Structure 1
Amino acid sequence: MQQDTAARPVGAPVPPTFDTLDLMVDGFLARFTSPATRSAYAGDLALWRSWCASGGLDPLTVQRAHLELFARWLETERGNSAATVHRRLVSLRSFYRVLAADGMILSSPAESVRLPKVVRDRTKYTHLTRGELSSMLRAADEASPTDGALLALMGVLGLRVSEACSLEVDCADRFERGHRMLTVTGKGGGTTGIPVPVQVGRRLDRARGDRQCGPLLVRRDGTRMTRRSAARVVARIAAAAGVDKSVSPHDLRAAAITCALDSGIPLRDVQTMARHADPRTTEIYDRSRGDIDRHGAYILASYLAA
Structure 2
Amino acid sequence: LRLQGERRSSPATQAGYIREVAWWLTWVITRGLDPTDIGHLEADLYLAALRAQGLKNATRARRLSAVSSWYAYLHRAGLAARNPFGSGMERPRVSQYSTTRGISADDMERMLAYAQVHETPRTTAVLALMFSTGCRVGSVTDTTVDGLGHDSGHRTIDLPVKGGATKRFVLPPLAADAIDAYLEQRRERPGRPLDPTAPLFATRTGRPIDQPYVFRLVRRVAAAAGVHGADQLSPHSARHGVATVLLDGHPLHVVQDFLGHANPATTRRYDEDRESLDRSPAYDLSRILSAGAARHRRRYQPPPDSEDR
TM-score, scaled to structure 1: 0.81
2:237 maps to which residue? 251
CA contact (8 A) 2:75 2:82 kept: yes
- Residues 189-215 of structure 1 show CA distances to partners (whole Å, capped at 9, x for unaligned) of 333211110121122223334322311
Deviation at 1:253, TM superposition (A): 1.0
Give unpaired runs (5+ residues) of structure 2: 188-193, 293-309
Q: Are residues 108 and 265 of structure 1, via their aligned partners in 2, closer, same or farther at CA, if it must alter by over 3 Å?
A: closer
1:101 maps to which residue? 76
Question: What SS does structure 1 have at the residue aligned with 2:145?
Answer: coil
- Residues 154-190 of structure 1 show CA distances to partners (whole Å, capped at 9, x for unaligned) of 22211011122111112122x2211122112222233
2:297 maps to which residue? none
Within 5 Å, give how 1:74-93 maps onto structure 2.
Answer: 74-76=50-52, 78-93=53-68
Q: Are residues 283 and 60 of structure 1, via their aligned partners in 2, closer, same or farther at CA, if it must alter by over 3 Å?
A: closer
Question: What is the distance in 1 between the residues matched to 2:19 and 2:271?
Answer: 34
Look up the equivalent residue of 2:218 and give its one-letter code.
V
Look up the equivalent residue of 1:171 and give its one-letter code.
G
CA contact (8 A) 1:146 1:217 kept: yes
Give unpaired runs (5+ residues) of structure 1: 1-26
CA contact (8 A) 2:132 2:174 kept: no
1:37 maps to which residue? 13
TM-score, scaled to structure 2: 0.81
Residues matched between the structures, number: 276
Structure 1 moving runs of 4+ over 6 Å: none
1:239 maps to which residue? 223
Within 5 Å, give how 1:62-73 maps onto structure 2.
Answer: 62-73=38-49
Question: What is the distance in 2 between the residues matched to 1:121 and 1:267?
Answer: 15
Look up the equivalent residue of 2:222 and give its one-letter code.
A
Deviation at 1:260, TM superposition (A): 2.2
2:94 maps to which residue? 118
Deviation at 1:274, TM superposition (A): 2.0
Give the structure with the higher percent helix. 2
1:158 maps to which residue? 134
Question: What SS does structure 2 have at the residue aligned with 1:170?
Answer: helix
CA contact (8 A) 2:96 2:269 kept: no
Question: What is the distance in 1 between the residues matched to 2:147 and 2:114?
Answer: 24
How well do the aligned residues superpose, as a CA RMSD in angstroms?
2.3
Deviation at 1:219, TM superposition (A): 3.3
Match of 1:276 among 261, 280, 303: 261
Whose radius of gyration is greater, 1 or 2? 2
Please state if 1:146 is matched with 2:132.
no
CA contact (8 A) 1:167 1:184 kept: yes
Question: What is the distance in 1 between the residues matched to 2:100 and 2:22?
Answer: 31
Question: What is the distance in 1 between the residues matched to 2:146 and 2:161?
Answer: 17
The higher relative CO (CA closer than 8 Å, separation ≥ 6) is in 2
2:207 maps to which residue? 223
- Residues 244-289 of structure 1 show CA distances to partners (whole Å, capped at 9, x for unaligned) of 3122111111111222234x33333323322223333333333443
Within 5 Å, give how 1:5-44 maps onto structure 2.
Answer: 27-31=1-5, 32-44=8-20
Question: What SS does structure 1 have at the residue aligned with 2:55?
Answer: coil
Question: What SS does structure 2 have at the residue aligned with 1:238?
Answer: helix
CA contact (8 A) 2:143 2:200 kept: yes
Deviation at 1:43, TM superposition (A): 1.0
